[in-house]
Chain A
Amino acid sequence: MTLTPDKPKAKARKLSMKERYSALTRDLDWDPSYVPADEMFPYTTFEGIKIHDWSKWEDPFRLTVDAYTKYQAEKDRRLYAVLDGFAQSQGHLSLTDASYLNAMKLFLQGVSPLEYQAHRNFAYLSRHLNGPGPRFASLCQSLDEIRHAQTEIHTLSNYNKYYSGFHSYLHMHDRVWYLSVPKSFFDDALSAGPFEFLIAIGFSFEYLLTNLLFVPFMSGASFNGDLPTMTFGFSAQSDESRHMTLGLEAIKFLLEQDPDNVPIVQHWIDKWFWRGYRVTALVAQMLDYMLPRKVMSWKEAFELYFEQQMLGGLFQDLAYYGIKPPRDVGKAIQEKEHLSHQAYWILYQFSHAAAFTTSVPSDETLDWLEEQYPDTFPTYRALWDKEKKNVANGGRHFVRGLPQLCQVCQIPMGFTEADSPFTICQRSVVFEGERYNFCSDGCQNIFEHEPVKFRQAWLPVHQIYQGNCGGADLGDVMQWYGMQPGDGGEYLGSPDHQNWLRWHAQADHSELGED
């Protein structure tokens, strides 16, 4: 420390933000010379995608590790403070109704495990993509996704202490019939190559459909007094906007690299739109039926977030690359006034085998639905009027048999023809002597592209018939699913409902007592 500083050298040009970011991220990369490149990156050729220049990847955001950890630590500090406060003050009692939590049960069982899967596979991309730019972006997303999985679990953990249906969400995700819908979706993405995963999850899930898959749960929370979930949603927002820009950059990058990539990407868009859209059936019924206080109808959400924003915006831009809107988008539009009603009707009839409860919609809800769906709901309302009579006569409707499932999306085959909304749609294909069933042309198309992949699907109903699910009768299967009494079936009179009434009655009495 005895030396004096050198005379300041000729003023060197300082780094711009972009150069600095590049120096801290992609400049860390080098071309290996002691091992062959295809051994270094073994997974990026088999899909047929051609990348000529990885350096053309435009960084979708510029966050270095120091900024990332600082920003995220601050967000988590605030989020966990809200969770702790809510738990200490018995905040769950200020929800609109205990039945609201059915939406959150579905979320924890069906969505949180997907966040975890995204975490693992973005880690795969952060190793196995050749370009250092997308590797670093994927690394950040991998971390974000374990954050989402964990903060969701921690957010909903408090409800698990007081309400049914949450307790075995992981076990159920890998076993229960309706959860096989989101699980097979993500397993499909993880078992695809890295480029397909980028389009399936990075683009399709995180950009194209995120406002239909994720946002409705968060809005539902804010409308129904669920402060923790709402806070989680807000604190995930800045992560999600990074994910959206990553997805958009990914698709542009692939399309710009080589014209031969265009048809491959187009097929993935077609496939993953339909895959994702089928998963949104669960969201559609949640929005229209499960929320005691409604946010917007499925139809409205679909028109705003998909038709206007995506078809009217995004796909206009993608047309420049020769990309067309997803193949089966017309069918999705045709059935937007039916999807939620059909999906809820299926879940209503099978909820004795589910870890959430259902009930005949209240008159208020029925009126609201009729306002939202003036053209189609009268028909569905007739169904509910009939069911109300069944209930009054002590004959609430549950289907005792097992439904046939679509080989691709795994939803029971209860959807109707898109252009003839009261005829059940059934498609089938024979492949190597075996017949496979589909709920729609969209699902059939997906199968026909990859029959060898989709014949492997773990179909819950087949598995029950094959004796792989604990036994032959419903009780055995429910036990194997990890169901506990009160998890499923009818909401009215369920343990959650009874507790809710009791807790509120106690509160009211104490209030009276004080006056």
Chain B
Amino acid sequence: MTVQFELRTQVIEPQRKTFQHLVDRYGDRPASRYEEGTIDLQATANYHFRPLWGPELDIYSPDYSLLKLADPYSYVDPRGFYYAPYVTSRADLHESFAATLGYLEKRGLFDRLPEAWRALFAEVVLPVRHYEAAAQMVSSHAARFGWGTTITQCAAYAAFDRIGNAQLLSRAGISFGGGTADSLADAKVRWLEDDALQPLRRLTEETLVERDWGLGMVRLDVTDQVLYQLLYTHLDDAAITGGAGSYSLVSQHLSGWFADQRRWFDALYKAWVADPEHGADNLATLRRTVADALAAADTALRPLAAKADELVGAGCAAALDQAVAATRTHFADLGITTEES
């Protein structure tokens, strides 16, 4: 044991502080675990084969999107998420959601929802779990085709988040359905058939087939911004005044998640716009894409807002106007101005 002890107290000078690519990039300083686990992980050269499923481009290529960064690692995730802190943060999120759900169940709070709010939850909110599932797919596409690990890693975690959101809504739906999948089955039929939801489903499917991962993510994000404001901010407020506190208890987990999603995505918009080489092109692409997507989200969500108003009369049509305007302002604050259509 003496030897062990001595070995431990002995001062041994390290030969280097971190890996060479990090020294080259950041100078001779110790690197964080985020940096060691992220920066330069994706290969950028000497690919052996062109893909059989698309020989025009390499296995990894900046040309899978119009949106480009001269150096993809000029962007870093402001949350510093590598796998361990990511899953830790999401374990907390789902644990606190489970606590909420436990409370709602124990107090029979879903059953105490006013009838109109029950209908809103079943007919408007629960079907959105399918939208979340599609958001996973859009994000996974970006996780595969994006250029540079700082971006694709965010997209990969976002993909998992979205299926997590879909599951969170589904678990609420199972609770709401008294431990059965009845309300989920009903919500699925509505997603497939209800007039109020078809424009959103159409927009979702059109977003899914966007091959440009960057444009796909932007379109999704624009819709997200409007939809989340409407469902989980505006209706959250309305629920509290409308005696539907349990709706608010559920929706807080989604609005809380969305605040986290904004952190990495807004930083990415800034990086795209500020890029020394591609900034101007990116800005033009973003202005065009955001303007289109915003108009599309507005159109797609109109009938959903009307339906919500029909059910709970919570001023959703006006809230949608506001959400669209707020999203436009949000982009303008990021330097991405759009004409009002």
Contacts and interface: CB of A to CB of B under 8 A. Distances in A.
Interface of A: 1-6, 9, 12-15, 19-20, 23-25, 27-30, 32-35, 39-40, 42-43, 46-47, 64-66, 68-70, 72-74, 76-77, 80, 89-90, 93-94, 113, 116-117, 119-121, 123-124, 126-128, 132, 135-136, 139, 142-143, 146-147, 149-151, 153-154, 157, 160-164, 166-171, 173-175, 180, 183-184, 187-188, 190-194, 453-454, 456-458, 463, 482, 484, 499, 503, 506-508, 510-511, 514-515
Given A1-B243, A123-B140, A30 B130 contact: yes
B159 A139 contact: yes
Interface residues of B, number: 98
B136 A139 contact: yes
B98 A151 contact: no
B111 A5 contact: yes
B164 interface: yes
B7 to A, nearest CB: 5
Interface of B: 2-4, 6-8, 10, 12, 14-21, 33, 36-38, 40-53, 59-60, 82-84, 87-88, 90-91, 93-95, 97-98, 108-109, 111-114, 129-130, 132-133, 136-138, 140-141, 143-145, 149, 152-153, 156-157, 159-160, 163-164, 166-167, 170-171, 174, 177-182, 184, 188, 191-192, 201-202, 205-206, 208-209, 243, 245
A157 B20 contact: no
A168 B205 contact: no
Contacts of A135: 137
A161 B159 contact: no
A162 B14 contact: yes
A192 B52 contact: yes
B84 A76 contact: yes
Contact of A69 (B94, B137, B174): B94
A247 to B, nearest CB: 19
19 contacts: A5-B112, A35-B209, A65-B94, A65-B164, A66-B98, A90-B7, A90-B8, A93-B10, A126-B136, A127-B137, A128-B141, A135-B137, A139-B140, A160-B19, A164-B15, A183-B46, A457-B48, A507-B6, A507-B7
A130 B310 CA distance: 36
Contact of B12 (A3, A193, A503): A503
Given A69-B94, A70-B94, A153-B37, 15 more contacts: A12-B177, A19-B181, A27-B181, A28-B132, A35-B206, A35-B208, A40-B208, A72-B91, A93-B7, A124-B144, A143-B157, A146-B83, A454-B49, A463-B46, A514-B2
What's the dominant secondary structure at chain A's contact region?
helix
Closest 7 CB pairs of A and B: A150-B37, A28-B133, A66-B94, A65-B164, A123-B143, A5-B108, A161-B14
Given A23-B170, A123-B140, A162-B12, A190 B51 contact: yes
A123 B209 contact: no
A330 B243 CA distance: 74
A113 B2 CA distance: 40
A340 to B, nearest CB: 26
B180 A12 contact: yes
Contact of A456 (B17, B21, B49, B160): B49
B86 to A, nearest CB: 8
A392 to B, nearest CB: 31
A335 B90 CA distance: 49
B15 A139 contact: no
Nearest to B15: A162
Contact of B41 (A32, A149, A168): A149
Contacts of B44: 174
B52 A142 contact: no
A170 B41 contact: yes
Contacts of B84: 73, 76-77, 80, 147, 150-151
B48 A188 contact: yes
A47 to B, nearest CB: 8
Contacts of B145: 124
A454 B49 CA distance: 7
Contacts of B184: 23, 27
B180 A13 contact: yes
A507 B48 CA distance: 48
B171 A24 contact: yes
Given A40-B205, A511-B6, A30 B49 contact: no
